[in-house]
Structure 1
Amino acid sequence: MKGILCTLLLLLWMITGCSNNSASNMENNKKLAEAVKQETEMPLEMPTDFNFMVSFGYGDVTKNVIDTYEGTVTKDLIIKGSATAEILFTADELRDIYDKMKTIDIMGPKELSKKGNCFQTPSNEDLWKVTVGGETKTFSWTDQKCGITEDANQLRELRNYIQHMVEGLEAYKTLPEAEGGYD
C-alpha cells in the first residue's frame, strides 16, 4: 500500500511539474513570438531606404518587373519579348504602397507554399525583394499546386494594386502592346 501511495505521489509531482513546465514553455513561446513580431514590424514612418522589386508572370516567364531600386518597369510583350521604361512613383504613391505592405506585415514570416497533389501549367509566379530599415527580404510564391495560401493571396492583391498604379503612369502607357498569349 505504501508503495502505491509513493507511486501516486510521484506521478502527481511529475504531472504538476510538467504542468508548470508547460506554462513556462507557453510563456517562452509567447515571448519568442513577440520578439519575432518586434523584429519584423515595419516602422510607422516610411524609411528612406524603402524599395521593392516584384517580378511576375507565368512559370519561368516572369518578364513583368516593377523595380523601385532601378526605377524601372518591364512589360512582357509575349511573342515580341519585353520592353522597359523608367518610372518614378510620387512620395504619396510610395507611402501608399508602404502602408499596404505594413498592413500585411510583408517583412514578417509568411506561409507561401501550398501542399497538394495537383499540378497546373501554366502557373503564376511572383518573386519579391523588399528593403525596409536596412533589412532586405526576398521571397516567392506560385499557384502551381492549384491554389495559393492566404499570405500569397495578400501578396498577389498587393502586386495587382501596384501593377494597376503602374499602368496609369505615362511612361508605362508608351510601352508597346503585347502580342500573343500563353498556353
Structure 2
Amino acid sequence: MKGILCSLLIAVCVMTGCSNHSDSVIGSNTRLAEAVKQETEMPLEMPTDFNFMVSFGYGEVTKNVIDTYKGTFTKDLVVKGSATANIEFSTVELRDIYNKMKAIDIMGPKELTMDGGCFTTPSNEDKWKITVNGETKTISWTDKYCAMTEDANQLLELRNFIKNIVESKEAYKALPEAEGGYD
C-alpha cells in the first residue's frame, strides 16, 4: 500500500511540474507567429500595385471573373457563353475592398477545406489572385463539402461585397442577361 501511495505521489508531482511546452518553445512559437504575421501583414495604406482577380462559378465553370489587373468583368451567360465589360473601381471602392482584405488577413495562411463527409452539387468554386506590395498570392476554395471553414466564409462574403459593387455599375447593367442554369 505504501508503494502505491508513493507511486501516486511521485506521479502527481511529475504531472504538475511538467508541461508539454517549455517557456522557450512557447516563446519560439510566439516569435514564429509574429514573423508570419509581419510577412503577410498588409500595409496600412493601400499600395499602388494593389490588384486582384477573382473567378467564380459552379464547379469547373468559373466564367464570372472580376479582374482589376485588366480592368474587366466577365459575366457567365450560361447557355449563351459569356460577355466581358470594362469595369473600373473608384479609389474609394478599391480602398474599401483593400481594407476588407486587410481585415480578414487575406495574404496570411488560410484554412479553406472542411470535409464534412457529404457533397453538394452543383458547388461553387472561387479562385483568387491578389497582389499587394510586390507579393502575389493565389487562393482557391469550394463549397462542395457541406460545411465551410470560417476563412472560406470570409472569402465568400468578400467576393459578394465586390460583386455587389460591380453589379451597381452601368457597364455591368449593359451586359446581356444569362439564360439557363446549372444542375
Common fold: TM-score over 0.5: yes
1:151 corresponding residue in structure 2: 151
Helix, strand or coil at the partner of 1:78: coil
CA offset digits 1:57-96 (Å, max 9, x no partner)? 0100100000000100000001100000011111111001
Gaps of 5+ in 1: 1-11
Q: Say yes or no: does 1:61 pair with 2:61.
A: yes
Match of 2:157, as an amino acid?
E
Q: Distance in 2 between matches of 1:63 and 1:181?
A: 13
Helix, strand or coil at the partner of 2:178: coil
Deviation at 1:130, TM superposition (A): 0.2
CA offset digits 1:33-57 (Å, max 9, x no partner)? 0110011000000000000000000
Q: Say yes or no: does 1:171 pair with 2:168.
A: no
1:119 corresponding residue in structure 2: 119
Match of 1:136, as an amino acid?
T
Q: Say yes or no: does 1:182 pair with 2:170.
A: no
2:9 corresponding residue in structure 1: none
2:24 corresponding residue in structure 1: 24
Q: Give the TM-score normalised by structure 1.
A: 0.89
Q: Say yes or no: does 1:91 pair with 2:86.
A: no
Structure 1 stretches of at least 4 aligned residues deviating more than 2 Å after TM superposition: 18-21
Match of 1:181, as an amino acid?
G
Q: Distance in 2 between matches of 1:20 and 1:175?
A: 60
Q: CA RMSD in A?
A: 1.9
Q: Distance in 2 between matches of 1:19 and 1:92?
A: 51
Q: Give the TM-score normalised by structure 2.
A: 0.89
Identical-residue share of aligned pairs (%): 74
Q: Say yes or no: does 1:161 pair with 2:139.
A: no
Deviation at 1:19, TM superposition (A): 5.2
Deviation at 1:116, TM superposition (A): 2.4
Deviates more, 1:78-87 or 1:108-117: 108-117
Match of 2:92, as an amino acid?
D
